[in-house]
């Protein structure tokens, strides 16, 4: 799947991703009201990944439902709308509108690392997180994904809270809170100072969290964090993910990365004489 936040706004760009081999697409996060996001610079390339602090730029759900409808007209794969809010009611309102417009599932962003009073500030508070999930489940009959933050003491505990509140699927994980400082200006590079690190650097962190979460809960896990090659994807499946999302590698490798990863997984399964992906989900947990 295409991870949230990468090219996730217009039907045209989502179509390019599907042509590149993605089996599902997740949109950029959308909220109740339009937001400009942060001033530039919003992205910085390190030697091992990207640090971003976009600041949730989006058109607001009432405008975005038009994109959802036109995307549904052209896409032949599931469309998952990523949703955020500043309260449980806001999450529920936005998720309901996305669902009515045709979203096949909603992904609750309770893990943006750097916007105040939403994202990980929701995800790291068990009572608030549970309320968000319950309120969304009460108004949306489609599957509810919950995208977790690595910036908490125990991701598996948060996973358990989300599942007890009704989460159908967990996405592990959002970006790792990070920053870069320019030695010449002696100032933080990003206008927001802090951002979220994605890409190759975070993959071992994400694999570890998927492994932990798989031991704790029974719902399907979608692995996300630094997947660039089929071998990275297989590692997530062996850790316990049933599917994977790719984000940063779309920027570095292009949209064909999905095809390359899917074909590589197929070749691996054939070589190892497995009949389906299901046979390797969580296989590294065997005693």
Applying CB under 6 A, the residues found at the interface with ligand RRO are: 5, 29, 52-56, 109, 111-113, 119, 174-175, 196
Name the minimum Å distance from CB 38 to ligand RRO. Answer: 7
Per-state percent for the chain, helix, strand, coil, to nearest 5 = 40, 20, 40
**Are 29 and 113 spatial neighbours (Cβ–Cβ below 8 Å)?**
no
Strands (DSSP E) found in the chain = 25-26, 43-46, 49-52, 79-83, 105-109, 144-148, 169-172, 176-179, 181-182, 187-188, 194-198, 221-224, 243-245
Closer Cβ to ligand RRO, 33 or 278, answer by number: 33
Identify the CA nearest to 174 among candidates 109, 228, 94: 109
Alpha-carbon gap, residue 233 to 257, rounded angstroms: 11
Bridge-based pairing of strands 43-46 and 49-52 is antiparallel
Name the minimum Å distance from CB 274 to ligand RRO. Answer: 33
Whether residue 48 lies in the annotated active site: no
Closer Cβ to ligand RRO, 20 or 119, answer by number: 119
Name the minimum Å distance from CB 68 to ligand RRO. Answer: 18
**Are 137 and 165 spatial neighbours (Cβ–Cβ below 8 Å)?**
yes
Closer Cβ to ligand RRO, 5 or 85, answer by number: 5
**Are 225 and 247 spatial neighbours (Cβ–Cβ below 8 Å)?**
no
Closer Cβ to ligand RRO, 119 or 282, answer by number: 119
Q: What interhelical angle do 11-19 and 61-74 show, nearest 10? A: 40
Annotated catalytic residue, options 48, 112, 154, 224: 112
Name the minimum Å distance from CB 147 to ligand RRO. Answer: 7
Closer Cβ to ligand RRO, 14 or 56, answer by number: 56
Residue nearest to ligand RRO (CB): 196
**Are 31 and 112 spatial neighbours (Cβ–Cβ below 8 Å)?**
no
- Which residues are annotated as catalytic? 112
């Amino acid at each position: 799947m295409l991870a949230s936040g990468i090219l996730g706004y217009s039907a045209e760009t989502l179509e390019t991703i599907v042509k590149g081999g993605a089996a599902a697409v997740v949109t950029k996060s959308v909220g109740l009201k339009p937001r400009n996001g942060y001033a530039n610079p919003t992205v910085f390339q390190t030697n091992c990944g990207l640090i971003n602090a976009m600041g949730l730029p989006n058109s607001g759900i009432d405008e975005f439902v038009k994109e959802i409808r036109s995307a549904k007209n052209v896409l032949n794969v599931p469309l998952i709308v990523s949703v955020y809010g500043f309260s449980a009611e806001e999450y529920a309102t936005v998720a309901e509108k996305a669902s009515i417009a045709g979203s096949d599932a909603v992904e609750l962003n309770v893990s943006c690392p750097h916007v105040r009073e939403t994202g990980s500030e929701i995800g790291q508070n068990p009572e608030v997180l549970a309320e968000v999930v319950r309120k969304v489940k009460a108004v949306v009959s489609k599957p509810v994904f919950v995208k977790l933050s690595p910036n908490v003491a125990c991701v598996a505990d948060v996973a358990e809270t989300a599942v007890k509140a009704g989460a159908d699927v967990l996405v592990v994980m959002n970006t790792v809170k990070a920053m870069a400082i320019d030695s010449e200006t002696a100032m933080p590079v990003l206008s927001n100072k802090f951002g979220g690190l994605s890409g190759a650097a975070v993959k071992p962190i994400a694999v570890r969290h998927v492994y932990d979460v798989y031991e704790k809960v029974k719902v399907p896990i979608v692995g996300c964090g630094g997947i660039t090659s089929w071998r990275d994807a297989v590692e997530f499946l062996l850790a316990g993910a049933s599917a994977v999302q790719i984000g940063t590698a779309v920027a570095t490798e292009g949209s064909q990365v999905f095809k390359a990863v899917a074909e590589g997984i197929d070749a691996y399964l054939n070589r190892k004489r497995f009949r389906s992906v299901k046979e390797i989900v969580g296989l590294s947990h065997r005693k």
